[in-house]
A and B are shown apart, each in its own frame.
Chain A
Amino acid sequence: MTGFLALELRRSLRDVRYLILAVAMPVGLYLLFAGLFGARGQRAQGLPQPVELMVAMIAYGAMWAVFSATGPRIAHERAIGWTRQLRVTPLTPASALAGKLVTALAAALPAMVLVALTAVASHHVQLGAAQWPALLAAMWAGVLPLALLGLAIGYLAGDEVAFPLTMALYFALGALGGLWMPPSVMPHAMQDIGQALPSNAVAELGWRITGGQASALRAALVLTAWLLSSATAALLAYRRPNIRSTH
């Protein structure tokens, strides 16, 4: 199990799509948006621009990291038969699933930390000593439902569909979830949808913590609902018989 996990992690770090989209993209977008909107203005959350954008891009980077480590990769492994080969080794299905989940979460961490470091270096973002670990821990835990959603896609979708589907979901959750622009500039109907999305709830956790607010009940409830439904979907998708037997 540890060997399996170690190899999955090593493989993640070599994945160029992961490095570009999960790490370079949020860092680049942060620098772009923070430069465009200036360091002084305040956005709807009542936070300084660089802080609010940092939280949004941490959520954005973490989201692609967990998606890229699950959906397209698992669908590809199923298509080429690696999943089947692994099933005839002593690695139990539960360990294989757990390995995928841990790898996805581990992939999110570098993206999150690098966006935070960029914000500190480029816009001198300052948080309290307890706020940093709280921010990263809460947001890290918050992407768990997204990782499970990625698992469900990986075990349901075909190889050709999984990547575009994951990409579409990534952009939709980013845009509607208020990671690109503040939800307050969107029409009311879209704001309502946005508030129910896990991407928005992850960012909301971060905004609350950086704003010094103790309670993020709504975000926690949204994430719990997504956690339960994604976990159920992932489990059902995984247990779906995927053995072709024509002989």
Chain B
Amino acid sequence: MPAAPPEPATAQQASEDRPAVRATGLAKSYGPTVALAGLDLHVAAGETVALLGPNGAGKTTTIGLLLGLLTPSRGQVRVYGRPPAQAVAGGLVGAMLQDAGLMPGVRVGELLAMVRGLYPEPLPFGDLVGLADLGSLLGRRAGRLSGGQAQRVRFAAAIAGDPMLLVLDEPTAAMDVQARRNFWRQIHAFASRGRTVLFATHYLHEADDAADRVVVIAGGRKVADGPPAAIKARFGDQQVRFTLLHGSPARLAALDGVRTVEHDHSRVTLHSTDTDATVRSLAGSGLAWSGLEVGGPDLETSFLRLLGEGS
């Protein structure tokens, strides 16, 4: 046999030697449309990293490239030191894609047993059922599940091979609040086994809750990279809105966490870095108000502002 380049003998070794993901100058264009304009991305083995950005930022393109589903126009990406298709073929990667589905006409248990069989060192079946909370679903037809159940099975299919790198593209998009909480608990349980997780999201709070590090992309470029707290401080433009019935508007700017104040007649919008603190100090301020609303981070606005600052 001809001499092959040295490959890690096991998935375990692969994780110790190399970064899980290393992308340099990664770019993808579709004709004149630039989906990704030169991304550098480094994910160390064992990290949980969020890829945060608004719709159209290039998140799905990035994921497609690092799974080998797309070919880069420029630049390069390596997964555990290998070209993406090789890493996938070697069983190092598991993925939950946005519009991926399940094999029709088979039972959930059969489907997962088959997927496990494709990997060199799959999760023991019992562990898989436990991690993805599947007990009651194993005998069900994969094509006849509710949205939330199908999501659990898709997650199970992604981790069935016990991959070193788990890639998730907006995994909670179709979930309610309770399902989201359960889902992130499961991801955490999986990651705590020393696995690397990279997930795309457009929810800042999700990145904040679940990730060790957040990479923000917008317009096909990386605009920020850092710990969640730093990203939140920079992008977390949350709003507190109410109608001011009585009291001096001048005092509003002095409330805790308030960055800027907007008025539309008596309707007030406070842009805050910490809405909890702002509401608390509003309640204690002696001002009279009604119709309180608290709005989550408006990422689109934050990104536009940041892109404006950057250029």
A85 touches B110 (CB 8 A): no
Given A88-B94, A90-B91, check contact A246 B56 (CB 8 Å).
yes
- Which residues of B sit under 8 angstroms from A245, Cβ to Cβ? 28, 30, 35, 60-61, 64, 70
In this complex, how many residues of chain A approach chain B with their Cβ under 8 Å: the count is: 29
**Complexed CA–CA distance, A90 and B117 (Å):** 10
1/0 per residue, CB under 8 A from A, across B109-145: the answer is 0110111011110000000000000000000000000
Interface centre among B89, B90, B117 (most CB of A within 10 A): B117
B97 touches A85 (CB 8 A): yes
B97 touches A81 (CB 8 A): yes
**Complexed CA–CA distance, A142 and B257 (Å):** 76
Which of B55, B99, B110, B167 is within 8 Å of A84, CB to CB?
A: B99
B119 touches A90 (CB 8 A): yes
A82 touches B102 (CB 8 A): yes
**Complexed CA–CA distance, A84 and B102 (Å):** 10
Given A4-B118, A89-B161, A90-B119, check contact A246 B60 (CB 8 Å).
yes
State which of A10-18, A37-45, A188-196, A209-217 sits at the interface with chain B.
Answer: A10-18
Given A3-B117, A90-B119, A246-B56, check contact A82 B100 (CB 8 Å).
yes
**Complexed CA–CA distance, A11 and B111 (Å):** 11
Verify if A87 is at the interface (C-beta below 8 Å from B).
Answer: yes
- Which residues of A sit under 8 angstroms from B88, Cβ to Cβ? 87-90
In this complex, how many residues of chain B approach chain A with their Cβ under 8 Å: the count is: 44
- Which residues of A sit under 8 angstroms from B95, Cβ to Cβ? 88
B117 touches A85 (CB 8 A): no
- Which residues of B sit under 8 angstroms from A81, Cβ to Cβ? 97, 99-101
B39-69 interface with A by 8 A CB criterion: 55-61, 64, 67, 69
Verify if B103 is at the interface (C-beta below 8 Å from A).
Answer: yes
Closest to B57 in A: A247
- Which residues of A sit under 8 angstroms from B117, Cβ to Cβ? 2-4
B97 touches A247 (CB 8 A): no
**Complexed CA–CA distance, A76 and B67 (Å):** 23
Verify if B106 is at the interface (C-beta below 8 Å from A).
Answer: yes
Given A85-B157, A89-B115, check contact A7 B64 (CB 8 Å).
no
**Complexed CA–CA distance, A92 and B120 (Å):** 14
Residues of B within 8 A of A (CB): 28, 30, 35, 55-61, 64, 67, 69-70, 88-91, 93-95, 97-106, 110-111, 113-115, 117-120, 154, 157, 161, 167
